[in-house]
Amino acid sequence: MTCGLDHGERQDRLIAAYGKPRPLFPPKYGEVLRMFGIRQFVHPRDVMIFAYRDQAAAEAWAKSNLEHYGHPSLGRMVGGDEIIGVMDLRPALAGHVGKPVDPMLPDDWRQPRKREAT
Q: What is residue 92's predicted lDDT score, i.e. its pLDDT?
A: 84
Q: What is residue 1's predicted lDDT score, i.e. its pLDDT?
A: 47
What are the pLDDT tens digits along the chain (118 aa)?
Answer: 455 668 789 899 999 999 999 999 888 899 999 999 999 999 999 999 999 999 999 999 999 999 988 899 999 999 899 999 999 999 888 767 678 899 999 998 886 666 655 5
Q: How far is CA 68 from CA 4, 34, 101, 108, in A?
A: 10, 28, 23, 29
Domain ranges of the chain: 18-36+43-96
- Residue 91 CA to residue 44 CA, distance in Å, equals 14
Measured over the CA atoms of residue 102, residue 104, residue 109 and residue 113, the dihedral's sign is: negative
Q: Indicate the angle between helix axes 7-18 and 55-69, nearest 10 degrees.
A: 170
